[in-house]
Structures are given as C-alpha cells and as structure tokens.
Amino acid sequence: MPAEGLLALRNVWKRFHSGGTETVALHDVDFVIEPGQFVTLIGPSGCGKSTLFNIIAGLEEPDGDGSVLFQGQPQRHRDLLGKVSFMPQKDLLFPWRTVLDNAALALEIEGMPRKAARQKAAALFPEFGLQGFEKHYPRQLSGGMRQRVALMRTFLFERELLLLDEPFGALDALTRSMMQRWLLEIWARHRRTVLFITHDIDEAIFLGDRVIVMSARPGTVRCDERVDLPRPRSGEVMLTPQFLDVKRRLLAIVEEESRKTFSASA
C-alpha cells in the first residue's frame, strides 16, 4: 500500500465567489485516511464539511493550491466521479421511483439490468428494516425511513470509500443507536473505508477509529484524535472512563469552535 493511504488531502482550499464577496469555505485541509478505517468528522455548522465531501466525491474542484490523492494517484476534477459512494445530507429520493427502484438507482447507472439491480437491492431490505415497503413511494415513508433508503442506495454502490453526510441526522434517538450498531456490524463484515460527518460527539466517538474535529469557517483540521476503544463496541462503551475522557477533551474544542461561529456572525 502506498504511503499516502487510501485517500490523502494535501493543503486543500476552497473559496467561493458570489456577488463580489469571497467566502473561504476550507483552508489548508490536510489528512490521510488508511484503508478500512472508520473516520468521523465533526465541526460547527457551516464550517465546510459538505464542501469537503463534494471535493472528495469529485463534484467540486479544490482550488489550485492543494491536491487530492486517491489510492496514491493525484486526482483532477471529475476523476473521482463514480469511484466513491456518496450519501448527501438530504435524502434526495426520487418521488417517481418506488422505494426499491430508488435503492437500485446507482446499480442501474452502473449498467446493471433493472431486474438484477432490483433483486440485489431487495435482498438488503430486511437488514435496513424496510421489508414490505419495496413497492411504496417515498412520500409514503417517514423521515427516518427515507434516510435509511438513501443509505441503502449508497451502500449498494459498492466502492472502497463511503462518504456519509449526517446519515442519521433525521432519526430518533432509539433508531439512531440501533442504526449505529448496525452500521458498525456491516462495516466489520465488509471492511469498507468510511468517512462519516456528524454533529453528535457521542456518535463520533462511538463509531470512529479516529475523530477529526474541524474549526469554524474557514474550515481546517483543528484536531485529529485516535479512539482506541476495543471493538466490537456495545452501548456500554459510552460509560467507560476512557470514552468520557475523550469526550471531555473533544467537547471543549468543539464548543470553542462553535462559539467562534456564533460570535463571528453576531
């Protein structure tokens, strides 16, 4: 495996220009992700997390200053399209497709015949707690169910790197902790590399091998913390001194950064 890991960001900047004003969304973002790692990304609202994901997915071009390396290869704009599986913050389900066809969308685009795509997607329905809803349309689902369909759609697009932008944001606390444990199981079985955005510190520590905390806008890596809690993890782990210790440290940083966001705009 090359020294750069699976994904490496080197000095990544992103500036937006609109109506004569410049918004620096990201500045000097620099980190490496090893294959099979589960990395969680946390940071104040508007600090550029989704922008970072767009860059890693090949949807947006980083400014000329830096570079993105995937499997050791430097990537130019659009090179990464179709190479990572990406789950945006909104569920973006298509109202005209049934739940099953929504889940199979990425497979169809890859060129799999519709029937085979459906079969493959249908097999995942029990695991996602959606059995019996295959023929429903998105408008007939609850917010949490829609989110799970979106997650399933991303999962079926089998790529080495998974980008999940607040996948459990719309779920209730119970479903959420169930989904967290379930995600860890899936991840343990398939060993795909995951980059996971969240607003919830407990979630970040519970899931991650590493927690990257981003600073207030312009976003950069504020701190990169290893989490050495033993796996497989159960809910109990959140009560251990080790967990609380990490949490205390991260909370202080996250709160400091969030305060910056609000005092800057005040």
Partner 1 sequence: MNLLPVTVALAGLLALWELAIALFRVPGFVLPRPLDIATAVMENPGLYASGMLLTALEAIGGFAAGAALGFGLAVLMVLFRPLERALVPIAIAISSVPSIAFIPLALVWFGLGPVSKVAMAALAVVFVVLLNTLNGLKRPDREAINLLRSFGAGRLGILWRLQLPAAMPAVVTGLRVGLARSTIAVIVAEMLGAYAGIGQIIYQATVQVDALHVWAGVAVATAGSLLLNAVLVAVDRRLVWWS
Ligand X SMILES: Nc1ncnc2c1ncn2[C@@H]1O[C@H](COP(=O)(O)OP(=O)(O)OP(=O)(O)O)[C@@H](O)[C@H]1O
Chain residues that interact with Mg ion, rule: CB under 5 A: 50, 89
11 near ligand X, rule: CB under 6 A: no
119 near ligand X, rule: CB under 6 A: no
Amino acid sitting at position 245: D
110 near partner 1, rule: CB under 8 A: yes
92 near partner 1, rule: CB under 8 A: yes
51 near ligand X, rule: CB under 6 A: yes
Q: Which stretch binds partner 1 (CB under 8 A): 35-43, 66-74, 105-113, 169-177?
A: 105-113
Contact, 215 vs 29, CB < 8 A? no
Among 57, 100, 213, 254, binds partner 1 (CB under 8 A): 57
Q: What is the DSSP string of 206-223?
A: HH-SEEEEEPSSSB-EEE
Residue 19, phi-psi category: left (phi > 0), alpha (psi -120 to 50), beta (remainder): left
Q: Which is nearer to Mg ion, 119 or 261 (CB)?
A: 261
Q: Which is nearer to Mg ion, 41 or 130 (CB)?
A: 41
177 near ligand X, rule: CB under 6 A: no
Q: Which is nearer to partner 1, 90 or 190 (CB)?
A: 90
Contact, 152 vs 133, CB < 8 A? no
Secondary-structure percent of the chain, ordered helix, strand, coil, rounded to 5: 40, 25, 40
The footprint of ligand X on residues 20-39 (CB under 6 A) is 23, 25
54 near partner 1, rule: CB under 8 A: yes
Rounded to an integer, what is the distance from CA 170 to the centroid of its chain? 14
| Residue closest to Mg ion, measured at CB | 50
The footprint of ligand X on residues 76-95 (CB under 6 A) is 89
- Nearest-approach distance from CB 262 to ligand X, in angstroms: 13
Local structure of 178: helix, strand or coil: helix
Residues 6 or more apart in contact with residue 71 via CB below 8 angstroms:
2, 6, 160
